[in-house]
């Protein structure tokens, strides 16, 4: 009983302390945000140049660290990576998985901005899509290829056979949620009517008979196509 009273007393003290704590003012919130902004890394062309050199270094660990930084830069300052796209494409052939998935993530971002400059990554992405050891590499490759396919009808027809095979291979895997999200984004781009129809056929069963996110995403993909969001409306 004594222990119960002590616990109750402690809880009351904690609750009183929370109630007594003053709310932050707008000025204090703004000051905290400014402090966080100051702590964020500042990327410069010189720093990026140094990082890019690390992708070709002999140290596996350093390449992985650099890959992580490169992916982060792609999401906040992608223009700094534009002069180095060819080096990034070459890095898709490093033996360690992390370097490859980080670089694929960066190239997926860059593909939306620089299009054709990134298309040389297609072969490396195809190899990564069927990597036997890393599901993260496979997912990164899949998402790059969906971005690639969304650029034009011709590119969607080129990428679709690979994407279709991957859908069948990895259906229901932990990464399948993000794969479906990538496919939904893809059909909202400039894909061909043939690719759009093939995708509808592929996910049609799940849209009717599956459960959870698989059913939801599959139905959304079909709706996006039939609403004419993609390049060709499928009846």
Q: Which of 8-17, 25-34, 66-75 has the lowest mean pLDDT?
A: 8-17
Does a structural domain hold residue 158?
yes
Does a structural domain hold residue 229?
yes
Q: Which of 5-9, 67-71, 160-164 has the lowest mean pLDDT?
A: 5-9
C-alpha separations of 207 from 212, 225, 233 in Å: 10, 13, 18
Does a structural domain hold residue 174?
yes
Q: Is the pLDDT of residue 199 over 60?
A: yes
Q: What's the pLDDT score for residue 7?
A: 46
Residue 228 binned pLDDT confidence (cut-offs 50, 70, 90): confident
Instruction: State what percent of residues in the chain have pLDDT above 70.
Output: 80
Residue 41 binned pLDDT confidence (cut-offs 50, 70, 90): confident
Q: Which of 52-66, 78-92, 97-111, 217-231 has the lowest mean pLDDT?
A: 217-231
Instruction: Give me the domain span that covers residue 164.
Output: 150-235
Q: What's the pLDDT score for residue 119?
A: 97
Instruction: State what percent of residues in the chain have pLDDT above 90.
Output: 78
Higher per-residue confidence, 29 vs 211: 211
C-alpha separations of 144 from 27, 43, 45, 128, 172 in Å: 42, 24, 25, 10, 20
Count of domains for the chain: 1
Q: What's the pLDDT score for residue 79?
A: 97
pLDDT tens string 136-193: 999 999 999 999 999 999 999 999 999 999 999 999 899 999 999 999 999 999 999 9
Neighbouring residues of 132: CB distance < 8 A, sequence distance ≥ 6: none
d(CA 160, CA 80): 31
Does a structural domain hold residue 196?
yes
Give the pair of three-digit tokens for residue 58: 């002999």
Does a structural domain hold residue 208?
yes
Higher per-residue confidence, 36 vs 198: 198
pTM of the model: 0.81
CA angle (66, 70, 73) in 5-degree steps = 140
Exposure class string for 178-204: b at 16+ Cβ within 10 A, else e: ebbbbbbebbebbbbbebbbbbbebbe
Residue 235 binned pLDDT confidence (cut-offs 50, 70, 90): very low
Q: What's the pLDDT score for residue 17?
A: 46
Does a structural domain hold residue 207?
yes
Higher per-residue confidence, 221 vs 6: 221
């Amino acid at each position: 009983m004594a222990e119960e009273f002590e616990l109750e007393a402690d809880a009351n003290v904690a609750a009183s302390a929370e109630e007594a704590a003053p709310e932050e003012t707008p000025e204090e919130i703004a000051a905290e945000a400014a402090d966080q902004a100051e702590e964020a890394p500042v990327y410069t062309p010189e720093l990026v140049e140094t990082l890019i050199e690390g992708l070709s270094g002999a140290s596996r660990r350093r390449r992985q660290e650099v890959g992580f930084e490169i992916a982060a830069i792609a999401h906040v300052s992608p223009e700094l990576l534009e002069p180095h796209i060819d080096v990034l494409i070459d890095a898709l052939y490093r033996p360690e998985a992390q370097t490859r998935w980080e670089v694929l993530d960066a190239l997926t971002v860059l593909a939306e901005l620089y299009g054709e400059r990134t298309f040389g990554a297609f072969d490396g992405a195809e190899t990564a899509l069927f990597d036997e050891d890393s599901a993260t590499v496979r997912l990164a490759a899949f998402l790059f290829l969906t971005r690639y396919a969304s650029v034009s009808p011709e590119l969607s027809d080129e990428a679709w056979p690979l994407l279709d095979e991957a859908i069948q291979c990895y259906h229901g895997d932990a990464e399948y949620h993000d794969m479906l999200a990538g496919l939904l984004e893809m059909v909202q781009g400039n894909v061909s009517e043939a690719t759009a129809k093939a995708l509808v056929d592929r996910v049609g069963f799940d849209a009717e008979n599956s459960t959870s996110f698989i059913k939801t995403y599959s139905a959304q993909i079909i709706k996006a196509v039939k609403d004419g969001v993609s390049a060709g409306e499928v009846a």
